[in-house]
Structure 1
Amino acid sequence: MLDLDLDCAARDMEREGFLRLPGLAAGGTLAGLRQGVDRLRQLAAARTASDDDFVLEAAGTGGWAAWQQGDAPLAGVLRSANRIHRHVPAFETLQHSMGLARGAVAAAAGAEGTFVNAFLWAKPPVVGSAKPWHQDMAFAPSGFEPARHNIVTVWIALERATARNGCLEFLPGSHRLGLLAHAGDRERAAGQAPLRDAVEPHVADADLPRAHPPVAVPLEAGSAVLFDGLVLHRSAPNTSDEPRTAVSFVYRVPRTVPLPAAR
């Protein structure tokens, strides 16, 4: 289990909305996460279209927009995957063995977390698309009551995450602003007609807080960043020849401070 200074972790989360976790996954744990990703890629290898669980990358357009528009993606090239613990049960076992819910999540959020979901976030070399500014609470699944619950995500880099290959960026302190309006299109349901000129949900530039500049969080393989469900974050496109692969584990936590008023 990660050795954290509990008081410092809580203070950093309160002030910034995110917390670096150097060396969170190492040795057999890191190897197990990578093996799980290899299995996901095997499951996606024959795919030629995206769906709710497997989104394929699309050069130029981006995986999400291509999926919503019905455009042809890059066959078998994953941009992201949802509910990965259902496709590869080892992911749920690994998050449990790391003690995240009772360890890092509890230290940062002030209460033990309940595991609710896991994702793959892949940015293939050169074509890996950007993710715009957003708050995870805007996409909270059913069962969340924003007045009572928050989301805490633990995002683990499986390869080096750098400014060139699309590491995460955060707006410090933005979690104290409440839930901001998100522009763009809602994901179409199965059977609905493709969208025209699909725009991924995001917080518009004019609505972004300006008190602090964005902070990039590069990570070494096995290191992680933990963040609040209301903190604004994004990632740039991968312009390098190095892949950027990460998995994230999402936890529901009791809200320990009142939810800021929505804007």
Structure 2
Amino acid sequence: MVDTESRDLRENGFTRLPALATGDALDRLRRAVGRLEELARDRTVSTGDFVLEAPGIGGWAAWQQGSGALAGVLRSADRIHEHVPEFDAVQRSLGLADGPVARAAGGHPGTLVNAFLWAKPPVVGSAKPWHQDLAFAPPGFGADEHGIVTVWIALEPATPRNGCLEFLPGSHVLGLLPHTGDRERLPGEAPRAAAVEPHIADADLPVTEPVAVPLSPGSAVLFDGMVVHRSAPNTTAAEPRTAVSFVYRVPRPSWTRREPAAARA
């Protein structure tokens, strides 16, 4: 990671990685996404691993409420490296854990803990509200000792129109902010009426201007698990936004160990 990228990550909580996965690596990721889509083609009900998009209320809410969704139209997929091992093979070939992730973590290689598909289809692609990834760490994660670093790779152009990621610079040093909404229901639990996706309320957001991070295919953004981020809905008629992310456990970065006083809205 060049000095500019390292400085951006420490100061802002995120940094761009241009042209991270190009040529064969990008082709392999796209083909692997195609295999995921084949696995979801006949699905009509969302599960924890395959969340289908739903017009009007969004895929997450429809999943939690047990509402109807668009058959086979993915909004997201969890544990994609287990469903399609090619994802794991590509992240290894790119050297993400020992390369950009290790440089972000002060020389400590990252340990892959999860990988996701983030699909945002045209017209119906729903928003993801403001949140911090570490708010959703599993029990026993040990957030006092560990942090997470995510490498989010665009497979198609990610733009403000189709829902590229947006960040609140510097929010990664504020500690874990309050999140409101409903937790994801466990397997076997009854659907929840009017489920609200977990998010940070406006009153708890830090006072800072959001920064959108548009990306070309194969480019990526690397970000700290404490930085506040979101993505807007895809309002385009024919511009899908598809991305994959690889999440790594690292020693908790030194810059997230303090919780300075900060003005909040």
Per the TM superposition, whether the score is higher than 0.5 is yes
1:237 equivalent to 2:233? Answer yes
Aligned residue pair count: 258
- What's the secondary structure of 1:42's corresponding residue? helix
1:55 equivalent to 2:51? Answer yes
Which among 244, 247, 251 is matched to residue 248 of structure 2? 251
Map of 1:72 onto structure 2: 68
- Measure the CA separation in 2 of the matches of 1:96 and 1:75: 32
- Measure the CA separation in 2 of the matches of 1:226 and 1:127: 26
Which among 7, 24, 27 is matched to residue 23 of structure 2? 27
Deviation at 1:25, TM superposition (A): 0.4
- What's the secondary structure of 2:10's corresponding residue? helix
- Measure the CA separation in 2 of the matches of 1:196 and 1:44: 25
Q: Is the 8 A contact 1:180 1:262 kept in 2?
A: no
1:199 equivalent to 2:191? Answer no
Deviation at 1:193, TM superposition (A): 1.2
Cα offsets for 1:101-132 (capped at 9, x unmatched): 11111112212211111000000011000000
Give me the CA root mean square deviation. Answer: 1.3
Map of 2:122 onto structure 1: 125
Map of 1:87 onto structure 2: 83
Structure 2 segments unaligned to the other structure (5+ residues): none
Cα offsets for 1:203-257 (capped at 9, x unmatched): 00110000x2000000000000000000000000000021000000000001142
- What's the secondary structure of 1:117's corresponding residue? strand
- Measure the CA separation in 2 of the matches of 1:260 and 1:193: 40
Which among 145, 167, 175 is matched to residue 164 of structure 2? 167
Deviates more, 1:252-261 or 1:119-128: 252-261
Which among 160, 180, 185 is matched to residue 183 of structure 1? 180
Deviation at 1:157, TM superposition (A): 0.2
Map of 1:106 onto structure 2: 102
Deviates more, 1:190-199 or 1:21-30: 190-199
- What's the secondary structure of 1:11's corresponding residue? helix
Which among 13, 17, 24 is matched to residue 17 of structure 1? 13
Is the alpha carbon distance of 1:256 and 1:66 closer, same or farther for their aligned partners in structure 2, counting shifts above 3 Å? closer
Letter matched to residue 20 of structure 2? L
Q: Is the 8 A contact 2:149 2:250 kept in 1?
A: yes
- Measure the CA separation in 2 of the matches of 1:49 and 1:193: 14
Letter matched to residue 196 of structure 1? A
- TM-score norm. by structure 2 comes to 0.95
Structure 1 segments unaligned to the other structure (5+ residues): none
Cα offsets for 1:109-160 (capped at 9, x unmatched): 2122111110000000110000000000011134521111001000000000
Letter matched to residue 120 of structure 2? K
Misfit runs of 4+, over 3 Å: 260-263
Q: Is the 8 A contact 2:173 2:260 kept in 1?
A: no
Cα offsets for 1:137-194 (capped at 9, x unmatched): 0111345211110010000000000000000000000000000110000011111111
- Measure the CA separation in 2 of the matches of 1:144 and 1:65: 26
Letter matched to residue 186 of structure 2? A
Map of 1:147 onto structure 2: 144
- Measure the CA separation in 1 of the matches of 2:81 and 2:73: 19
Q: Is the 8 A contact 1:172 1:231 kept in 2?
A: yes
Map of 2:220 onto structure 1: 224
Identity, % of aligned positions: 69
